Structure 1
Amino acid sequence: VWSYRPTRDPRPRSHNEVPTQLPESVALAADLKSRGFKYVGPTTMLALMAAIGIVNTDIVGTHRRPR
């Protein structure tokens, strides 16, 4: 999973800019599906990546991600 870490985290400035997928989450989902996993789409993989700290999708300027 960690090999799919993006080189740069997205820097959303509003809720509309928070990504639902990244190229890395698409690739991770495809890799897991090829290994027999089910119900692993790019959006779910981005949520996993955010939950375990691989990617930070918090909005810039909030208490979760100061400027």
Structure 2
Amino acid sequence: MIELTLMVLLNSIGDKFCEYRSEGSDTYKALLLAYSDASEKYGVSEVKKVISESEALNFTAVSVALLKCPQHL
């Protein structure tokens, strides 16, 4: 199994976030759906652990989203 890191998590969420936004979901709904998908894939406790231990979550998350789908931000 792959070790879940902040970048792995954010890349996974970023892909799904962009997909949901492109399908018409608003930002908040797309984020929650993408988080839900990551929790199913990696496990709720692993996702929560990575989020809790992250130092620069906001900056890193925005950076990933800007790279993946800047049209939705």
Give the TM-score band, short-chain normalised: 0.3 to 0.5
Structure of greater Rg: 1
- TM-score between the two structures when normalised by the length of structure 1: 0.44
Q: Whose helix fraction is larger, Structure 1's or Structure 2's?
A: 2
